[in-house]
Amino acid sequence: MGSSKLSHLAETLIGSEIVKLGGIIKEKISKGEQIYNYTIGDFDSSLFPIPKELENEIITAYKNGYTTYPAADGELDLRTAVSSFIKKNEGIEYNPQEILIAAGGRPLIYAIYRAIVDKGDKVIYPVPSWNNNHYVHFTEGEHIMIEATQENNFMPTANQIRPHVKGASLIAVCSPLNPTGTTFTKEELESICDLVLEENEKRNEGEKKLYLLYDQIYWTLTFGDTVHYNPVSLRPKMKAYTIFVDGISKSFAATGVRVGWSLGPSEVIAKMKAINSHIGSWAPMAEQKAVAKFLNNEAAVNTHLVQFKKEIEIRLTSIYEGFQQLKKSGYSVDAITPQAAIYLAVQINLVGKKTTSGDTLLTQSDVTEYILNEAKLALVPFYAFGADKKSNWYRLSVGCCKKEDIETMLSKLGDALKKLT
């Protein structure tokens, strides 16, 4: 029997490239292969458990019977805790009416798109970036994709955005960026803010404004001299046009705990709350109560972040240095100095090389497959994040990386590169 046709959305949704790759890797592992799987933007909880204090608060909240529906916009004690956490750490002021809690960052991103974007509206977003292409598809917006370049650490620039702002509804950016682990410079983010403010000044009363979706879910994880900047600190007037996406998923290795928050203008937050209410994508009551207590425990938060960042940085730096060694040895690989998040942007430029069996690596997909089969190294190509299919850059994630595996992985990669002519 032929399958019946479903909605246009269902029939045209593109499956996740990362999930597809994950399937291939799982199969190899099930056959007993040792794979260095650096594809997952998640954590191995045996290496990176959630903070003990947070775990205890969650258990206590369940024992105390917090198992009913939470408030539609999030429990007040959590919104108040987020408000003071953000003020203390980022110096920006949001009252509880300007904060929305949801089950992680995704429902918030979806709600922002749904609240702002109408069919045919221009949405400006850089590639590589995480899932913006899918959210634009959901809302039937017009894709204005900006191909970010290595020269700017794969962050979009105001000059790239400028030609497209007329008539646009949303600019969606992320810093620190998934998949690259790179961040905006202060100057570049200021220029983007000025662009948004300038464009909104030109728009008439009653005309739709241009909003900035600012995903900063990785903002606590910066390394070395890297500083995280946000639009509202740099340009206070941006408070009227910026909607933040944030939460505990990455800062506290709590991806499965599902507590995220948005900060934004109260009228936008109210509409997002209405959308989220219909979907029911609230963070569970017990987890909300626990996160409220944990965020107020400054000592526990700081102790966790210091240790956690140190462990992530060791991994990123070791792999970065390994790639630089391979580059010095004359192989066509490179990496960008670790700046933030749990990712390293690495380049593997092998198209046109011949394998020992005489096959030529004709496409970047061939390269990805070769590295997986020969070096047992699994990475996500930037084209899975909307970049050009020919891009020879990859996301390497260290959330599931054992420190003791790094040396072996690098030596296997070296051996695989050595075999090519």
Q: What is the 3-state secondary structure (H, E, C) of 205-259?
A: CCCCCCEEEEECCCCCCECCCCCCCCHHHHCHHHHHCEEEEEECCCCCCCCCCCC
What's the rounded mean pLDDT across residues 11-33? Answer: 87
Is 140 in the same domain as 71?
yes
DSSP code at position 384: G
Q: What is the pLDDT of residues 93-126, one digit of tens each?
A: 999 999 999 999 999 999 999 999 999 999 999 9
Is 261 in the same domain as 287?
yes
Q: Is the pLDDT of residue 383 over 70?
A: yes
Is 378 in the same domain as 409?
yes
In a domain, residue 60? The reply is: no
Q: Is the pLDDT of residue 2 over 80?
A: no
Is 281 in the same domain as 349?
no
Percentage of residues in the chain having pLDDT higher than 90:
94
What's the rounded mean pLDDT across residues 140-147? Answer: 97
pLDDT at 4: 74
Question: CA torsion, points 18, 20, 22, 24, in degrees to nearest 10?
Answer: -140
Q: What is the pLDDT of residues 163-222, one digit of tens each?
A: 999 999 999 999 999 999 999 999 999 999 999 999 999 999 889 999 999 999 999 999
The residues with which 124 forms a beta bridge, in sequence order, are 144, 171
Is 250:218 a contact under the CB 8 Å cutoff? yes
Is 43 in the same domain as 76?
no
In a domain, residue 207? The reply is: yes
Is 245 in the same domain as 161?
yes
- CA-nearest of 273, 184, 272, 270 to 235 is 184
Q: Is the pLDDT of residue 1 over 70?
A: no
pLDDT at 3: 64
In a domain, residue 54? The reply is: no
CA distance 336 to 395: 11
What's the rounded mean pLDDT across residues 71-80? Answer: 98
CATH classification at residue 308 = 3.90.1150.10
Q: What is the pLDDT of residues 299-351, one digit of tens each?
A: 999 999 999 999 999 999 999 999 999 999 999 999 999 999 999 999 999 99
In a domain, residue 177? The reply is: yes
In a domain, residue 57? The reply is: no
Q: What is the pLDDT of residues 212-268, one digit of tens each?
A: 999 999 999 999 999 999 999 999 999 999 999 999 999 999 999 999 999 999 999
Q: Is the pLDDT of residue 283 over 70?
A: yes
Is 15 in the same domain as 145?
no
Is 226 in the same domain as 357?
no
Distances from the Cα of 207 to the Cαs of 193, 201, 210, 390, in angstroms? Answer: 19, 11, 10, 40
Distances from the Cα of 362 to the Cαs of 159, 355, 381, in angstroms? Answer: 34, 11, 15
Is 288 in the same domain as 386?
no
pLDDT at 125: 98
Q: Which domain holds residue 292?
A: 66-297
Last residue within a domain, chosen from 297, 329, 344: 297
Is 136 in the same domain as 210?
yes
pLDDT at 288: 98
In a domain, residue 246? The reply is: yes
Is 100:120 a contact under the CB 8 Å cutoff? no
Last residue within a domain, chosen from 236, 268, 297: 297
CATH classification at residue 279 = 3.40.640.10
Last residue within a domain, chosen from 271, 297, 323: 297
Q: Mean pLDDT, the chain, as a whole number?
A: 96
Is 263 in the same domain as 135?
yes
Is 265 in the same domain as 364?
no
pLDDT at 34: 93
In a domain, residue 53? The reply is: no
Looking at the structure of the chain, the number of domains it has is 2
In a domain, residue 410? The reply is: yes
